[in-house]
């Protein structure tokens, strides 16, 4: 039995934080053993939002599963779409054929998604620690991004915009203008957040030297994304296992060595700036052209063809009803998501549906390091650490 559930003396108290609790970002049940307010031991319990998404995947075609990935990390649906779609494309062997414009659009969406996700992180992290205004400021900017997403795909939360073979449709008129406007304006906004928090004494007191995890532990726990980069691990899939057009773009990977909540905070703050830089470059470089590959074996054909040619119509029915036949084999693709490395492992037996689909959910893995981080701290530190790990239960519980 886990130590966290055993009370050794009368000073120790077991406190159930969650699953219904204002600061657990969803439905985490965090069991802490307290001595006074000091944490002796703790154990995170997950699974309250389990929907069996991996199992569901075995019963649907590759196209059908795409919207389900929206429901993983619902704060960064675009990035989830991207990771899944890239995994499927790797399985199909069409990664190289994705039109360049589509690749740039994907990068734009992924980076906007990263900023949006980090803004929600900043908002809730600050709100948890008591700074309410930051919450509203960052939601103000997030709204801007969500509006842009709505322009592109009509949805505000679950986008399903990035599709196998490209993106659902080309960017609408006026999108690039808004993006330009946003990238210009965003540097100033990040400054505003810095003003409110970065040098704030209370903020420093609450985040510095709290929730420490060493570089070795971070690697051993398999923590990914900004959380490891806060512990001095210089690892970012966009640079180290490049995909899409990231190699052509110029950006830095912020790394801080302190390993505490504050370091993770700084990493994400810097990442937002870097993402904004990427966006600026994308605006410059994005070419014209198609946004979807022309590979009728795997992607929907244009309606004109389906209505005019019987073979196109017949193939369309097969793709819709039975799903396209992916080559047999197994494939893993991990993308650098706002929360860390989101990986999709697909085992295909050559049918229209995956035989097995496994999701490496960064939130799930990051949570595993929590007991290590909060041990010896106070109740309030749990809140700081939860905020700094930035997990989403849609993804963790899957």
Partner 1 sequence: MADTVKVKINGKEYEAKKDETILQVARRNGIYIPAICYSDRFGAIGACRICAVEIVGMKKPMLSCAMKVKDGMEILTDSEKVIEFRKNIVYEWDKFHPLQCGVCDKSGECGLQDINYELNITENPLEKEADPLSVPNRTIHYEWKIIHHDANLCIQCRRCVTICDRVVNFGILALVKKEWGGREIDTKDGKPLDCEFCGQCVSICPTGAMSSKLFKYKARPWEMDKVRTTCQFCASGCQMDLNVKDNKVLRVTSEDDTPNMANLCNLGRFNYSVVESKNLINSPKVNGSSSNLDVAIKKAADILKSHGPDEIAAICGARETVEDQLALKLFFENAIKTSNIDSFASTHIGKLFSVLPKGVSPLNNVSDMEECDVIFAFGGDVANEMPRLDWQTTRNVKLLKKSKLVTAYWRDTKIDTLGSVALRYEPGQEVEFLNSLFGSLAGALNVSTDIKGSIEIPEDAVKVLSEAKKIAFLVGQEALERPNGSDVALALANLMLLFGDKVKLYASSKYNNSYGAIYSGVTNGFDLYGKSKEKVFSLYDLPKLVEDGKIRAIFLLNADLFTIFSDEDARKIFDKADVIYLDAYMSDSVKYAKVVIPVATFASTDGHYVNIEGRFNRVRKAIDRDVLMAKDVVIRIAGQYGYNLPIGYIKEALDKATFDLDQDMDSFRNVQSGGFDFTGSLKGVVVYSKFRSGIFSSFGEGASIAMEEPVLEINPEDAQTLGIEDGNYVNVEGLSALRVKAKIDDQMPKGVVSIPLWFAGYNAYNVSGSLTNLFSAKLMKGE
Partner 2 sequence: MEVLIAIIKLIIVVTVLSVYVMYATWYERKVIGHMQQRIGPKRVGWHGLLQPIADTLKSFWKEDVIPEKADKPLFWLAPSIAATFPFAAAIAIPFAPPLHLANGKVFYFSVFHSKIDILYILGMMGLTSFGVLIAGIASGGSKYAFTGSQREAAQIVSYEAILALALLNPILMAHSLSLEKIVEAQRHLWFVFYQPFAFVAFVIAMIAATARIPFDLPEAEPELVAGHMTEFSGLKMGLFFFGQYVMIFVVSALASIVFLGGWTGPVLPGVVWYWIKILAFIFMYTWFWGTFPRYRYDQLMDIAWKALLPLMVLNILWTGFALAVGLPVL
Segment interacting with partner 2 (CB under 8 A) among 99-107, 143-151, 195-203, 341-349:
195-203
- The answer to the question of residue 296 lying near partner 1 (CB under 8 A) is yes
One residue of 132, 157, 185, 318 binding partner 1 per CB under 8 A: 318
CA dist 241 → 104, 120, 224, 235, 238 (Å): 17, 27, 14, 9, 6
User: Which residue matches tokens 């319990």?
Assistant: 45
Segment interacting with partner 1 (CB under 8 A) among 50-58, 76-84, 264-272, 311-319:
311-319
Give the residue with the Cβ less far from partner 1, 323 or 362. Answer: 323
Q: Report the SS3 class of residue 263.
A: helix
In the complex, least distance from residue 128 CB atom to partner 2, rounded to whole angstroms: 4
**Cβ-contact 125, 388 below 8 angstroms:** yes
One residue of 204, 322, 329, 368 binding partner 1 per CB under 8 A: 322
Cα separation, 37 vs 379, in Å, equals 6
One residue of 23, 162, 171, 346 binding partner 2 per CB under 8 A: 23
Cβ atoms within 10 A of the Cβ of 174, count? 10
User: Which residue matches tokens 């120790």?
Assistant: 12
The token duo for 53 is 């998404």
| 332 CB-contact burial (10 Å; exposed 0-12 / middle 13-18 / buried 19+) | middle
Q: Are strands 340-348 and 356-360 parallel, antiparallel or unpaired?
A: antiparallel
Instruction: Pick one of partner 2, partner 1, none as the site partner of residue 194 (Cβ within 5 to 8 A by kind).
Output: none
The token duo for 172 is 């609408």
Paired strand residues for 356 = 347
Segment interacting with partner 2 (CB under 8 A) among 112-120, 129-137, 260-268, 328-336:
129-137
Give the residue with the Cβ less far from partner 1, 241 or 306. Answer: 306
One residue of 196, 283, 306, 312 binding partner 2 per CB under 8 A: 196
- The answer to the question of residue 105 lying near partner 2 (CB under 8 A) is no
DSSP 72: S
One residue of 195, 311, 327, 329 binding partner 1 per CB under 8 A: 311
Cα separation, 374 vs 125, in Å, equals 16
Give the residue with the Cβ less far from partner 1, 206 or 319. Answer: 319
Segment interacting with partner 1 (CB under 8 A) among 40-48, 92-100, 317-325, 374-382:
317-325
Could you tell me which of 65, 94, 96, 70 has the C-alpha nearest to residue 81?
70
- The answer to the question of residue 206 lying near partner 1 (CB under 8 A) is no
One residue of 129, 168, 171, 299 binding partner 2 per CB under 8 A: 129
Cβ atoms within 10 A of the Cβ of 6, count? 11
Segment interacting with partner 2 (CB under 8 A) among 93-101, 330-338, 359-367, 379-387:
379-387
One residue of 11, 140, 194, 303 binding partner 2 per CB under 8 A: 140
- The answer to the question of residue 315 lying near partner 1 (CB under 8 A) is yes
What DSSP line would sit under 279-337, residue for residue?
HHHHHHHPPPS-SB---TTTSPPPHHHHHH-HHHHHHHHHHHHT---PPSEEEEEEEEE
Give the residue with the Cβ less far from partner 1, 8 or 349. Answer: 349
Cα separation, 387 vs 22, in Å, equals 12
Binding-site size, partner 1 (CB under 8 A)? 18
| Contacts to partner 1 by CB under 8 A | 296-297, 307, 309-319, 321-322, 324-325
| Contacts to partner 2 by CB under 8 A | 13, 15, 21-23, 37, 126-133, 136-137, 140, 196-197, 200, 202-203, 205-206, 378-383
């Amino acid at each position: 039995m886990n130590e966290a559930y055993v009370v050794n003396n009368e000073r120790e108290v077991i406190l159930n934080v969650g699953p219904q609790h204002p600061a657990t970002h969803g439905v985490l049940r965090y069991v802490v053993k307290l001595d006074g307010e000091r944490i002796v031991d703790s154990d995170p319990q997950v699974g309250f939002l389990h929907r069996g998404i991996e199992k569901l995947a075995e019963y649907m075609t590759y196209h059908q599963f795409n919207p389900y990935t929206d429901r993983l990390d619902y704060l960064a649906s675009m990035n989830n779409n991207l990771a899944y779609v890239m995994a499927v494309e790797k399985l199909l062997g069409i990664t190289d054929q994705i039109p360049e414009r589509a690749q740039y659009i994907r990068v734009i969406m992924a980076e906007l998604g990263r900023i949006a996700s980090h803004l929600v992180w900043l908002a809730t992290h600050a709100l948890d620690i008591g700074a309410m205004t930051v919450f509203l400021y960052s939601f103000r900017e997030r709204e801007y991004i969500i509006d842009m997403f709505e322009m592109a795909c009509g949805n505000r939360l679950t986008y399903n915009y990035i599709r196998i073979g490209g993106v659902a449709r080309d960017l609408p008129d006026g999108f690039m203008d808004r993006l330009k406007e946003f990238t210009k304006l965003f540097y100033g906004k990040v400054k505003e957040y810095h003003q409110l928090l970065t040098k704030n004494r209370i903020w420093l007191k609450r985040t510095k030297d709290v929730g420490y995890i060493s570089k070795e532990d971070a690697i051993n726990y398999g923590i990914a994304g900004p959380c490891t980069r806060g512990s001095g691990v210089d690892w970012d899939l966009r640079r180290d296992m490049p995909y899409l057009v990231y190699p052509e773009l110029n950006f830095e990977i912020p790394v801080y060595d302190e390993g505490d909540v504050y370091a993770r905070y700084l990493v994400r703050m810097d990442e937002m700036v870097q993402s904004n830089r990427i966006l600026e470059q994308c605006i410059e470089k994005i070419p014209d052209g198609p946004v979807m590959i022309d590979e009728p074996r795997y992607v929907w054909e244009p309606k004109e063809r389906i209505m005019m040619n019987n073979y196109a119509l017949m193939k369309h029915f097969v793709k819709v009803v039975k799903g396209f036949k992916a080559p047999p084999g197994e494939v893993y693709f991990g993308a650098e998501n706002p929360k860390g490395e989101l990986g999709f492992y697909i085992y295909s037996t050559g049918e229209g549906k995956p035989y097995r689909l496994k999701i490496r959910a960064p939130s799930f893995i990051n949570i595993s390091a929590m007991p290590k981080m909060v041990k010896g701290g106070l109740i309030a530190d749990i809140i700081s650490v939860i905020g700094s790990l930035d997990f989403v239960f849609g993804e963790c519980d899957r």
